[in-house]
């Protein structure tokens, strides 16, 4: 496994729609392993393939299923070709940062609950129901696959005085 370089704005790949994955081969497995290692080293809670200069629809997310339980262990999600198939009408504002947009944070309104469908690293179908911060992370990472950055959705963007935890 290799820690890859995380590209930052204004890299053009961050603004392109990523290509669907059609081959679940060794090259994809290496990309996924590298993305997990890169996300953890950054440190972040999510990473999309375009952030490591690969225009493919792959995301990795590592966050507890229940963010209200302080003892909950983070769960690793790998989703290939993810799509949000359901969103709750309830939305919530939250402060987001991004590994590809260093030194800025923004207030972004996101759905409180979502359902994501896609494939796992072997190509088998997966369906994930997420709420709270986990739902926010999935929405943020899937935006990356469509060339959308959190700054595009933010009602307000600023440079924080303290470093940001839980960069996505």
CATH of residue 81 = 3.90.45.10
130 domain-assigned: yes
Query: Distance (Å, rounded) from C-alpha 22 to C-alpha 1?
Result: 22
When divided into structural domains, the chain yields a total of 1
65 domain-assigned: yes
Residue 45 pLDDT: 97
1 domain-assigned: no
* Bond into 43 cis (ω within 30): yes
Flag residues of the chain having pLDDT under 50.
none
Radius of gyration of the chain measured on its C-alpha atoms? 15
Query: Per-residue pLDDT tens for 110-156?
Result: 999 999 999 999 999 999 999 999 999 999 999 999 999 999 999 99
* Residue 68 CA to its chain's centroid (Å): 20
Tell me if residue 162 is catalytic: no
Residue 128 pLDDT: 97
Residue 86 pLDDT: 98
100 domain-assigned: yes
Catalytic, out of 26, 141, 161, 162? 141
This prediction's pTM: 0.93
Query: Distance (Å, rounded) from C-alpha 64 to C-alpha 71?
Result: 9
Residue 96 pLDDT: 97
Range of the domain at 138: 12-158
36 domain-assigned: yes
163 domain-assigned: no
Residue 167 pLDDT: 62
165 domain-assigned: no
2 domain-assigned: no
**What is the DSSP secondary-structure string of the chain?**
--PPPPP-TT-GGGGSPPBPP---SHHHHHHHHHHHHHHHHTT-SEEEGGGGT--BSEEEEEE-S-TT-TTPPPEEEEEEEEEEEEE-S-EEEEEEEETTEEEEEEEEEEESEEEEEEE-TTS-EEEEEEEHHHHHHHHHHHHHHTT--HHHH-SEEE--SSPPSS--
């Amino acid at each position: 496994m290799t820690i890859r370089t995380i590209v930052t704005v204004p890299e053009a790949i961050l603004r392109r729609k990523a290509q669907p994955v059609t081959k679940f081969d060794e090259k994809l497995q290496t990309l996924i392993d590298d993305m997990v290692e890169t996300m953890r080293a950054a440190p972040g809670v999510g990473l999309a393939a375009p952030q490591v200069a690969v225009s493919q629809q792959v995301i990795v997310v590592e966050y507890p299923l229940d963010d209200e339980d302080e003892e909950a262990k983070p769960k690793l999600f790998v989703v290939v070709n993810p799509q949000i198939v359901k969103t709750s009408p309830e939305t919530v504002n939250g402060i987001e940062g991004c590994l590809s947009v260093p030194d800025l944070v923004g207030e972004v309104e996101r759905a409180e609950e979502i359902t994501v469908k896609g494939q796992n690293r072997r190509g088998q179908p997966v369906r994930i129901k997420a709420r709270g911060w986990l739902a926010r992370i999935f929405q943020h990472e899937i935006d990356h696959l469509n060339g959308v950055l959190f700054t595009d959705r933010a009602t307000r963007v600023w440079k924080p005085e303290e470093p940001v935890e839980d960069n996505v």
